[in-house]
Amino acid sequence: MLPSLVKRQQISRPMVYLSPVLAFLLSLLAGVVLFIIMGVSPLAALHAYFIEPLSSSYNLAELAVKATPLVLIGVALSLGFKAGVWNIGAEGQLTIGGLCGGVVALFFYDQQGFYILPLMLLAGIAGGMAWAAIVAFLRVRFNANEILTSLMLSYVAGLFLNLMVHGPLKDPDGFNFPESRLFSDSAILPILIEGTRLHIGALMALIAVGLGWVIISRTLLGYQIKVAGSAPAASAHAGFSGARIIWITLLIGGACAGLAGVIEVSGPIGQLLPSISPGYGFTAIIVAYVGRLHPVGALFAGILMALTYLGGEMAQIQLNLPVAVTGVFQGLLLFFLLACDVLIHYRVQFGKPALAGERK
């Protein structure tokens, strides 16, 4: 008797939260198989990936540094995805945000002042929002698919940053390397814990989680987002403006991604480089899903995905494993999650389906 899937009368609450755990365990299992194929001791690899990053206070701080952009963007994407607005170009919004913040930092490079950093953050947020606004405008005004436009704009943003650091923003004393000047001390985010790289950006990510939670569970906007995603027809019938939700969710996404970008350049990086993110904007898509499209979930999921980045670096140093393993692991995790999510809406039944009219 083949098992078959039967639609549940109601969605299964426990499965909503069990599914990510199950998916993580399955990815671990797949990871072990992968390591064996690659001829690496699975125990040593898992130790490098999941124990090492948690084993010293410095590494824990590094984990928070990497989780910061992921959580920030993940929270914002959660809101958008919940509303059915597919902004998958956060990487581009991050890039433009970092670039705008960086331009402010370089403009004041020979000055010191408390005002520089807030200006940078604002410029970054504005830059990210502007980049996302293009997507919103094209979607609302011309009905252009936001998945494709936001992604195409990511490529454009990457090339634009590249152009800027090869040209006008290049360090004049930098031996012609495509890098900007190092930012002045006033343009660097304050460090939270001495001796680590943990900066105040991490607090901003926590604030974003709190704000995201308030929006989604305590405001009319949050309600409209949920209805727009789960029942678009009902949403329109209730008079909720679809265009408004597209604009707001995209602008929130752009703001958070832009902020993440400026946090990256003014935190761990400290200057503008041709590339300022190892794909945080794309990984944040996984963060949003693993976090069940909920801001608090995005916090945990962001930390988990940061662990795969940091673990990937550890495994590279200790076991000479390619960094690409991280990407494979992230992809697998999302696959398994989507597969496990079937159990939210369906239950497995062994034996003959009881439904009339079922064809085989």
Could you list the residues that contact another protein (CB under 8 A)? 5-7, 86, 88, 138, 142-145, 147-149, 151-153, 155-156, 159-160, 162-163, 166-167, 282, 285-286, 289, 322, 324-332, 334-335, 338-339, 341-342, 345-346, 353, 355, 357-359
Name the residue nearer to another protein (CB basis): 199 or 313: 313
CB 6 → another protein: shortest distance, Å? 7
CB 237 → another protein: shortest distance, Å? 20
- The dihedrals phi and psi of 347, each to the nearest 5 degrees, come to -120, 155
Q: Which two tokens stand for residue 235?
A: 């949403």
Name the residue nearer to another protein (CB basis): 300 or 329: 329
CB 160 → another protein: shortest distance, Å? 7
CB 113 → another protein: shortest distance, Å? 33
Q: List Cα–Cα distances, 336 to 11, 27, 290, 342, in angstroms.
A: 19, 7, 10, 10
Nearest to 314 by CA among 50, 35, 128, 134: 50
Q: Are 187 and 266 in contact (CB under 8 A)?
A: yes
Name the residue nearer to another protein (CB basis): 174 or 274: 274
Name the residue nearer to another protein (CB basis): 24 or 346: 346
Cα–Cα distance measured from residue 328 to residue 306, given in angstroms and rounded to the nearest whole number = 14
Name the residue nearer to another protein (CB basis): 114 or 359: 359
Question: Amino acid letter at 44?
Answer: A
CB 119 → another protein: shortest distance, Å? 27
Beta bridge partners of 199: 191
Sign of CA dihedral 233, 346, 22, 42: negative
CB 167 → another protein: shortest distance, Å? 7
Name the residue nearer to another protein (CB basis): 82 or 199: 82
Q: What is the dihedral of CA 234, 235, 236, 240, to 10 degrees?
A: 150
Cα–Cα distance measured from residue 116 to residue 110, given in angstroms and rounded to the nearest whole number = 11
